[in-house]
Amino acid sequence: MLSVTVLGLAGGAAWVAKAEPDVYLRARYPLEFEHILRGHASNHGLDPALLAAVVYVESRFDPEAESAAGAIGLMQLLPDTAKGIALRTGGEQFVVSDLRDPEINVRYGAWYLDHLWSRYEDTRLVLAAYHAGQGNVDRWRADGTGIAFSETRSYVADVLRIRDVYADAYRLELGL
């Protein structure tokens, strides 16, 4: 079923059909753990659709995902990064297996995105730092080169594109 939107124009109304029906978007871009995403996005003043897009790109919503570099869980956090977040947020007994828990992983990942936002105040740079590290982003900024890694440029573009998909297909579930 194709979604149809009616737009009011000065002389009447126009019918606009979306290119892809929501059913297709929902099948291609599933959403899980929306209550966790919504809650931690709210706690950190983040866009829940952006948070969902990061999770999708990082792990396709697989809490057991693990990268070759050792990043774990929904938001693909490195254990050392997660341990630092745990200590900064009052955690005292962090264990690596915690990163497979969707609630803990998204809590740490949302905190980290918020931390990056307070440092860069630009969504593209926040995502670049999340993907390639703060040191790289700081160096690119100092050099005035923009995002130097093609893989990171692709990552940022993918997350932003998929953010729009989640905002459109899951508006109610994400509280938008």
Asked whether residue 162 carries a pLDDT value surpassing 50, the answer given is: yes
Domain ranges of the chain: 1-30, 32-169
Q: How far does CA 119 lie from the centroid of its chain? A: 17
Q: How far does CA 90 lie from the centroid of its chain? A: 24
pTM score of the predicted model: 0.86
The reported pLDDT for the residue numbered 19 is 56
Q: How confident is the model at residue 2 (pLDDT cuts 50, 70, 90)?
A: very low
Greater model confidence, 90 or 74: 74
CA distance 74 to 59: 5
How confident is the model over 72-88, as a mean pLDDT?
95
Mean confidence (pLDDT) of the chain: 89
Residue matched to tokens 């940022």 = 156
| Residue 166: CA count within 13 A, CB half-sphere | 28
Total Cβ atoms within 10 A of residue 64: 9
Q: Which has the closest alpha carbon to 109: 46, 32, 29?
A: 46
Asked whether residue 137 carries a pLDDT value surpassing 80, the answer given is: yes
Burial 102-132 (b: 16+ CB within 10 A, else e): bebbbbbbbbbbbbbbeebeebbbbbbbbbb
Question: What architecture is domain 32-169?
Answer: Orthogonal Bundle (1.10)
DSSP secondary structure of 51-107 = HHHHHHHHHTT-TT-B-TT--BTTTTB-HHHHHHHHHHTT-----GGGGGSHHHHHH
37 and 48 in contact (C-beta within 8 Å)?
yes
The reported pLDDT for the residue numbered 102 is 98
58 flagged as catalytic: yes
Q: How many residues does the chain have?
A: 176
Catalytic residue of the set 32, 58, 66, 92: 58
First to last CA, the chain: 23
| Residue 44: CA count within 13 A, CB half-sphere | 24
Q: Which has the closest alpha carbon to 31: 10, 60, 58?
A: 60
Could you tell me what percent of the chain has a pLDDT over 90? 78
pLDDT in tens, 8-47: 444 454 444 455 668 888 899 999 999 999 999 999 999 9
